[in-house]
Amino acid sequence: VQFNLPQPASEILRADDSDIVYYQVMGPGRKFLSGERDLPPPD
């Protein structure tokens, strides 16, 4: 699995002045790929 989130896209996800956006990308076997490592895994 390959994941590429360009820096400008990452900045857009975090650029909202009134909200905070958290994301996490997991690969096969729930391997962490990108985002917030501390988010709990989905059920």
pLDDT digits (tens, 9 = 90+) for 15-32: 777 777 788 888 888 889
* Structural domain total, the chain: 1
pLDDT of residue 37: 92
Beta strands per DSSP E along the chain: 24-26, 32-35
38 band by pLDDT with thresholds 50, 70 and 90: very high
Containing domain of residue 7, as a range? 1-37
Selection from 30, 33, 2, 1 nearest residue 42 by Cα: 30
Q: Report yes or no on 43 lying in a domain.
A: no
The Cα-based distances of 19 to 1, 15, 23, 34, 35 in angstroms read 30, 9, 13, 20, 16
Q: Which residue has the higher pLDDT, 38 or 10?
A: 38
Q: Which residue has the higher pLDDT, 41 or 30?
A: 30
Q: Report yes or no on 42 lying in a domain.
A: no
Q: Report yes or no on 23 lying in a domain.
A: yes
